[in-house]
Chain A
Amino acid sequence: MNSITAKNGFIPERIADRIWDSIKSGLILVDGEGKIMLWNDWIAQHSGIPAEFALNHFLGSLFPEGLTASFKVALKNVLQYKLPIVLSNALHRSPLPLYPLPVTQHMQERLQQSIVITPIVTGEEKHLCLIQITDATLSINRERVLKSHSERLSQEAITDALTGAYNRRFFGERFTAEFGRAQRQNIPLSLIMLDVDYFKYYNDSYGHPAGDKVLISVARALKSQLNRPTDVVVRYGGEEFAVILPDSGSEGSQIVAERLRAAVSNLNIPHRESKIADRVTASVGIATCQPDTDCNMACFLETADTALYSAKHGGRNCVRHLLTSDCGRPCPPGTP
């Protein structure tokens, strides 16, 4: 025990050396001229330069590629002003040629580093300077994982879990944004509402798992008919889907709507309880808001609903179109 206790307040040198070498970050001590006085194991391993090679040499002379300008300035400033300096990873990345283990310099990217340089005040005239290097790679990777998780969660927050279509929350945001854009840019906007015919009977007859499969197939069929990335399919409620068609007028939206109706029918999913066909079909209502017409979002949604209602009452498996200006029902108050 006695042999390792501090004598006169100093830790014996051989123990101090072991401490430096056990530390899991890089330690370099240089004197006032920049000559290396300490080169711990971590730095020896990550630089590929053993201590006996480094000691008493100048830091710059050890690395054939030299030191970065900012590192040299920092070192000079610490020695001159004796004030500690931070070289952040964000602004400097990899100032020193240090590599992940095992070191095979030509194959590898440099280690991401966070560096702190502190003056060491000795009682004597000479100034020393301690360079501490921490491997920032772990933190960066952790940050990346968190970021990709948060991206996945953001995506999940706007996706309908069953069908993979966008959900109602996304619809609210996107429809508001597209409505605002259409008003500002004076362009038409169309909204399709699509409802699977006699879906309740389908569920009752084939069971809910089968019903779920129908919804998944319908969502996929609808998506397959849309070419523009701005046209989005939303699961609006139970068996009801909505499609936002920016910059589409009456004619274009009716062509798309007819394609959607046909795509559902062409899935050829048998439906023995349907009163209008032998397969799963859908009714489609479209509302178009023309530029320069008086319209608000609530009124727009109401018009699309009215169009869908009229498709349902017009025999189902068909498309009905309405302009917001032709909507027979009184407009509900809403945002302009």
Chain B
Amino acid sequence: MNPLSELQLDALTEIFNIGAGRAASSLSEIVGDEVKLSVPCVQLYQSTEINADILSLNSSRLGAVKQSFNGPFHADAMLLFTEDRALEIVHDIMNSQVGVEDVAEFEQEAMCELGNIILNACLSSMADMLDVTLNSSLPVYSVGTAEVVLRQIVSESPSLMLVLHIDLNIEKRHLQGYLVFLLSSSSLQKLLAHIDRFIAGI
């Protein structure tokens, strides 16, 4: 596997930070308060290397919002976060709206929507910057222990994982999560080809 060059990593980080900015402004509209979202770091792993230690998501239940997308390259995009912290945020948002009751069944749908906002923002930013068209499935939410969720990811994974660290600050709460792209090495090569073209075009 060719590791990503410094330049390629920088370009990816930039693309995803633009996506994060878009997601933050959509989230701000829903929350009615300032939301900060950033992607401080992007890393590439073999899926077999991934475990709860590497992602520092130990000893907690993980929530995962997944969308599969395709276009010139295809991948499963997955937002991972610790469930209890994410639920706190959902509760905060729901409480900040008038007349909202605590309805457990809809928390998951709300999580799906928040994940969808972040994933779509990153995908659309990628589509814009790389000048490609991407199609995506609807988001699916799942939850489980870190071990189970990660094992599932690794078992379906086509070998490579692009891991983005995500920092979300929302109504005085801080949430760290990961945006993971699972992709085959041929899809990665196609993505990198587009990245290189993007870098060359700057």
Is B200 engaged at the interface, CB distance under 8 Å to the other chain?
no
A143 to chain B, nearest CB (A): 5
Q: Give complex CA distance A311, B93 in Å.
A: 58
Query: Which A residue's beta carbon lies closest to that of B111?
Result: A88
Number of interface residues of A (CB under 8 A): 27
Q: How many A-B residue pairs have CB under 8 A?
A: 80
Q: By the criterion CB–CB under 8 Å, are B137 and A84 in contact?
A: yes
Q: Mark A205-220, 1 if CB is under 8 A from B, else 0.
A: 0000000000000000
- What is the interface of chain B mostly: helix, strand, loop, or mixed? helix
Is A268 engaged at the interface, CB distance under 8 Å to the other chain?
no
Q: By the criterion CB–CB under 8 Å, are A89 and B109 in contact?
A: yes
Q: By the criterion CB–CB under 8 Å, are B120 and A85 in contact?
A: yes
Q: Give complex CA distance A77, B93 in Å.
A: 22
Q: Give complex CA distance A143, B105 in Å.
A: 7
Q: By the criterion CB–CB under 8 Å, are A86 and B112 in contact?
A: yes
Contacts of B26 in A (CB 8 A): 73
Q: By the criterion CB–CB under 8 Å, are B30 and A70 in contact?
A: yes
Q: By the criterion CB–CB under 8 Å, are A91 and B110 in contact?
A: yes
Q: By the criterion CB–CB under 8 Å, are B105 and A139 in contact?
A: yes
Query: Which A residue's beta carbon lies closest to that of B136?
Result: A83
Contacts of B112 in A (CB 8 A): 86, 88
Contacts of A119 in B (CB 8 A): 135
Q: By the criterion CB–CB under 8 Å, are B100 and A90 in contact?
A: yes
- Whether A86 touches B116, Cβ cut-off 8 Å, given contacts A81-B127, A114-B109, is yes
Q: By the criterion CB–CB under 8 Å, are A83 and B106 in contact?
A: no
Number of interface residues of B (CB under 8 A): 33
B201 to chain A, nearest CB (A): 21
Within 8 A of A (CB), among B60-77: 67, 69
A239 to chain B, nearest CB (A): 42
Contacts of B113 in A (CB 8 A): 86-88, 90-91
Within 8 A of B (CB), among A256-274: none
Q: By the criterion CB–CB under 8 Å, are A83 and B29 in contact?
A: no
- Taking A73-B29, A81-B120 as given, write out 12 further A-B residue pairs in contact, using a Cβ cutoff of 8 Å, ordered by the A residue number: A69-B29, A77-B120, A82-B135, A86-B116, A87-B113, A88-B112, A89-B106, A90-B100, A90-B103, A90-B106, A91-B113, A93-B100
Q: Which 6 A-B pairs have the closest CB atoms?
A: A90-B110, A90-B106, A88-B109, A81-B124, A88-B113, A83-B120
